[in-house]
Every structure is written in C-alpha cells, then in structure tokens.
Amino acid sequence: MQTSILSFGKRTLRALTRQKAVIAIIAMLILMLFFKTNFYTSYNLLNVLKDAAVNEIIAFGVTLTVIAAGCDLSVGGVMCLSGITAIQMMNGGMSMWLAITLSILIGALIGFINGFFVVQQRTEAFIITLGMGMLLKGVCQQLTDAHPVSCTNMEFMKIANGKIGGVIPNLAVIMIVFGVLVYALLRYTSFGRNLYAIGGDYEVAKYSGINVVTTKWIAFVLSGAMTAIAGVLLSSKLNTGSSIYGDDTALMVNCGVVVGGTSFAGGVGGIPESFIGLMVLQLLTNCMNMLGIAPYLQQVAQGVVIVGIIWLDCFGRKRKREDV
C-alpha cells in the first residue's frame, strides 16, 4: 500500500515537471515577486480565475476531443452562437433558464454534427471543425445583423458577475466545478478511460469491444455543450451577445490545451494539463497588464510564448530522436 502511494507521488511529480507549462507558470509567479504591483492580491488572483473561466470551460470540453485524437476548432463560433441565441430568446420573452438550456442544447447539436463528420465520416477534425466555426460565424452575423445585442433580462448579468458570499466570483466556482466533473469523468468512468483508449489506438480500442463511434461522438457533443455554456457565461458577463467574440478563441484554447500536455496525437493529457496550459496564456496577459505593458506588445508576447513553448516541446522531441 505504501509503495503504491509513493509510486503515485513519484509519477505525478515526474509528469508535472515534464510539463513546460508548469515551469512557465512558476517562472511568471517568481518574476512577479520582483515587481511592485497588485499582482499578489486576492482581488487580482481571483480576477485571473474569473477572466480565465470562460476559456477554461471551453478547454475542458475541447480536452475530451483532443484526448480522443481529435480537436475542436469550432468553439469560437459555438461560443458566439450560444450567447446570441440565449439573449435573443430571452429578449423575445422566454424565461431565462429555458433560454439558457436551449442554447446549451444547440451547442450540443453542433457538437453532434461535428461528431458526425469526424467520427462517422472519418473526416480530418481540425479542418472540418474550422469550417464549421466559419459557418457559425456567418450564422451569428446573420442573426444579429452584425450588431451586438443586449439582454433585457436583468437577472442574466448576475450569473456571471455574481459573487458567492460577496467574495468568490461565481465564474471561478463554476469553472472549478466543471473542472472537477470532467476530471472525474476522465479518470473514474468507463467513458473516460475508453476515450483514452480510442485516442491511443482506435483499432485496438475497437477490437476490445469499446463502442468507439459512440464514445468519440459523445466527446464532441460534450465539447459543443460545454462551449455553449461558456458562451452563455461570456454573454452574461458582458451582458451582450456579439458575433465578434471568439475570433481567436479556437486557436488559443486548442493551443493552450496542447501547451499543457494534452497532445493532438491523442491518448494522453487531461484536465490538469489543459487547465495549466491555458492558464499560462491567461496568466501571461494578467502579468503584462500588471506590468503596464501596451496591448500591442502583449500580443507579441503571447505569440512569442506560444511559439516558444511549442518550439521547446518540438525541440525536446527532436533531441530525443537524435540522441543516438
């Protein structure tokens, strides 16, 4: 019993330190100790969680598809669409929770369609979800005539902007709850374990009696649904639905997931990895804001960080390959 705890601890440590993302975060945390800013205040740190929440929730859903050796680049479009439909339905008189539920179902439906192409038709995930995202963007523009829509229901704003006990942001809590749920799904259920198998080796999983088609398909449905939830939360946060949200989201979230260690090849990774990976990018933005760095420079920094981490990752693999 003791040895298994020890070996679990050793394995976790080894897995974590292999993650360049963790190192990047630690580096940033250490760096910020040297500057006199409001970084290390509970207000700011809670803000970081709050700002990250929407994208992290998307990341949790996307993680499911990436583990199954797919990916989901339609998230920008789904996110926009769910926010817009929720608000428009509410503005049309529908009750808030019903509108939200329907929007989430729409997200799930899109996930279902993505799943059809990727799983049933065995189309390349990254490009087909990219196309789907483009399509949804157009739908969003059509629905809103390219004007942002505000919600007439005052209750809507409170969902994302509220605080539990006046201190802890709802968004942070919601993010953590979803994180834990998906983590448990991946680790403790057959569905989750089968997803790893499917991503690791599709044929082997199939021959082991796993229903590969249904399982992978569901991953896409869940990704769509979770993205829709995130989209609703974003619209709630800003009290606006707009078709310009999410232009960068797809690549940033998928990037973040990979940066954290959930590889496109499938079969590896999970919630902690994806969370940390995306957090690198979010934390970076926060640090730069704290340091007063101009927005344009921030963009450069983000690009450099993404390139840098992936570069290091590739380079590490190249070294291993050539280490004869």
Partner 1 sequence: MEKKDRGIILSIKDVNKSFPGVKALDNVSIEIERGIVHGIVGENGAGKSTLMKILSGVYTKDSGTVVFDGEEIEHTTPIESLNRGLSIIYQEFNLVNTMSVGENIFLGRFSEMHGMRGTHAEARKLLDSIGCSIDTHTLVGELSAAEKQMVEITKALSFRSKLIIMDEPSSSLTSDELKQLFSIIGDLRAQGVSIIYISHKLDEIFELCDMVTVMRDGHVIDTRPVGELTRADMITKMVGRSIEHEYPERPHCVGETLMEVRSINTHKLHDISFELKKGEILGFVGLVGAGRTEIVRAICGADKVKGHEVLIGGVPVHIKKPAHAKKLGIGLLPEDRKLQGLVLRFSVQSNIAMASLDKMRKFGFIDASQERGIAERQIANLGIKTPSPQTTVLSLSGGNQQKCVVGRWLEINPQILIMDEPTRGIDVGAKYEIYVLMKQIVENGGSIIMISSELPEVLNMSNRVLTICEGRITGEFNPEEVSAQTIMDSAIG
Partner 2 sequence: MTKRFDLKKFLLNYLVLVAIVLLVIITIIVEPKFLSGDNLTNIMRQFGPLSFVSLGMTFVIIGGFIDLSVGGLISLVAVVTVSLIDPLGQLNALIVGVLFGAFLGFLNSMVLISCGALTQAEALFITYGMSAVYSAVALIYTGGSTQHMSWLTTPQTIFTAIGSGTVGIFSVSFIIFLVCLLLLWIFHNKTYSGRSISYTGGNKVAAELSGIPIKRSVILIYTICGLMSAVGSIVLFSRITTAAPIIGKNYETNAILSVVVGGTTLKGGKGSVLRTVLGVLLITLMSNCMNLLGVSAYMQVVLKGAILVLAIWLDNRKEQ
In the complex, minimum distance from the CB of residue 2 to partner 2, in angstroms, rounded to a whole number? 41
Q: Is residue 44 involved in binding partner 2 (CB under 8 A)?
A: no
In a 3-state reduction of DSSP, which class is residue 93? coil
Measure Cα distances from 89 to 81, 96, 147, 264 in Å: 12, 8, 16, 37
Residues with Cβ within 8 Å of 305's Cβ and at least 6 positions away in sequence, in order, are: 24, 280, 281, 284
Which positions from 268 to 297 touch partner 1 by CB under 8 A, shown as an x/- string? x-----------------------------
Q: Which stretch binds partner 1 (CB under 8 A): 34-42, 83-91, 183-191, 281-289?
A: 183-191
In the Cβ-directed half-sphere of 279, how many Cα atoms lie within 13 Å? 26
In the complex, minimum distance from the CB of residue 218 to partner 1, in angstroms, rounded to a whole number? 16
CA 43, distance to chain mean position in Å, is 23
When the beta carbons of 113 and 268 are compared against partner 1, the nearer one is 268
| Distance in angstroms (rounded) separating the CA atoms of residues 235 and 222 | 20
Which of 107, 115, 179, 199 is in the footprint of partner 1 by CB under 8 A? Answer: 199
In the complex, minimum distance from the CB of residue 194 to partner 1, in angstroms, rounded to a whole number? 7
Q: Is residue 194 involved in binding partner 1 (CB under 8 A)?
A: yes
Which of 45, 105, 109, 135 is in the footprint of partner 2 by CB under 8 A? Answer: 135
Question: Do the beta carbons of residue 39 and residue 290 sit within 8 Å?
Answer: yes
In the complex, minimum distance from the CB of residue 312 to partner 1, in angstroms, rounded to a whole number? 20
Which of 26, 127, 180, 244 is in the footprint of partner 2 by CB under 8 A? Answer: 127
| Distance in angstroms (rounded) separating the CA atoms of residues 322 and 316 | 10
| Distance in angstroms (rounded) separating the CA atoms of residues 270 and 196 | 9
CA 86, distance to chain mean position in Å, is 20
Q: Is residue 11 involved in binding partner 1 (CB under 8 A)?
A: yes
Q: Is residue 244 involved in binding partner 2 (CB under 8 A)?
A: no
Q: Is residue 155 involved in binding partner 2 (CB under 8 A)?
A: no
Which residue is associated with the tokens 């976790």?
12
Name the residues that contact partner 2, by CB under 8 A.
117, 121-124, 126-128, 130-139, 141-142, 145-146, 251, 255, 258, 264-265, 296-300, 302-308, 310-312, 314-315, 317-318, 321-322
